Structure 1
Amino acid sequence: MTVKNRFARLLAAKLLWRIALAVSIAAIIYLATTSQNFPAAASFSDKFNHLIAFMELTILARLSWPHVRMLTSAGLLLGFGLLIELLQAPLPYREFSVLDLLADGIGIALGLAISPWLQALARQSPASHSVD
């Protein structure tokens, strides 16, 4: 089996991506609502963190459910971003930020731009023809 075939088979493993998506969502909710600082999780910009997190969520969601329309995925993920901001609003150590939502949206757009390439590669795997 070639490296490309192994990579395609990995990309077609929907259960793996669904578990990764659930773990990512749980971690993001925790990080977004905790009062603890995690310097290792921080980058040079909070907005960059949002962009990367939502790009990752988008790619995981598209690999998990490739037959769901892109706009549906985008809407659900943007709704998740809004939910995070609404959860943060009443917290004394957090705040609601429209700029965070904008960064989330940019991350979603980037994830949507990347995911068709990954999905096309996943369709090349024999495992992609299995039932969900």
Structure 2
Amino acid sequence: MQTLRQRIHTLLDQQTLWRFLLAVSILAILFLATTSDDYPVPASSSDKVNHLIAFVELTILARLSWPGLRLGWLALPLLAFGLAIEMIQSQLPYRDFALGDLIADASGIALGLLPWPGLNRRYRGRPDQPFSD
């Protein structure tokens, strides 16, 4: 019987699952960032907090999807995605480009790059090792 630690490592090693969830998240964020409709989704009253949370999530999912990739190679495409959203919004009559949103995205990426238990690539596939970064 597997221990809880082994089960967690098995889950963390499901890169196909994490890549699927990352793709779904990207599509959902892109839709929410470009729609003119109000949708009842859990959100903060602060748009900047929403950006921060979204990009922490994207960064963690990217880290789980590609655990051996250097963190900079994860951060750059995510920041480019944030910039692309702002560029698209600048072309929409009901949205605006906001540098503050891009700063919140970058802050979310930075938080997502912090050491998180279980995300350290040194211990991938080694359930006998502790969760530490």
With the shorter chain as reference, the TM-score category is 0.7 to 0.9
Moved over 4 A (4+): none
More helix by share: 1
CA distance in 1, matches of 2:91, 2:42: 23
RCO higher in 1 or 2 (8 Å CA, sep ≥ 6)? Answer: 1
* Residue 76 of structure 1: aligned partner: 77
Q: Percent identity?
A: 54
TM-score, with structure 1 as normaliser: 0.88
CA–CA distance in 1 between the matches of 2:108 and 2:115?
11
Contact 1:21 1:61 in 2 (8 A): yes
Question: What's the CA shift string for 1:30-53, capped at 9, x where partnerless?
Answer: 000000112433312110110000
Report the TM-score, using the length of structure 2 for normalisation: 0.87
Aligned length: 125
Specify every segment of 5 or more residues in structure 2 that has no aligned partner in the other structure, as ranges.
129-133
Matching residue of 1:123: 125
Compute the displacement of 1:122 (Å).
Answer: 4.3
1:33 counterpart letter in structure 2: T
**SS of 1:50's equivalent?**
helix
Distance 1:54 1:81 in 2: 8
RMSD: 1.6
Check whether the contact 2:5–2:127 (CA below 8 A) recurs between aligned residues: no
**Secondary structure in structure 2 of the residue aligned to 1:40:** coil
Secondary structure of the corresponding residue to residue 114 of structure 2: helix
Residues 1-132 of structure 1: pairs in structure 2 closer than 5 A? 1-115=2-116, 117-120=117-120, 122-125=124-127
In structure 1, distance between residues paired with 2:15 and 2:110: 21
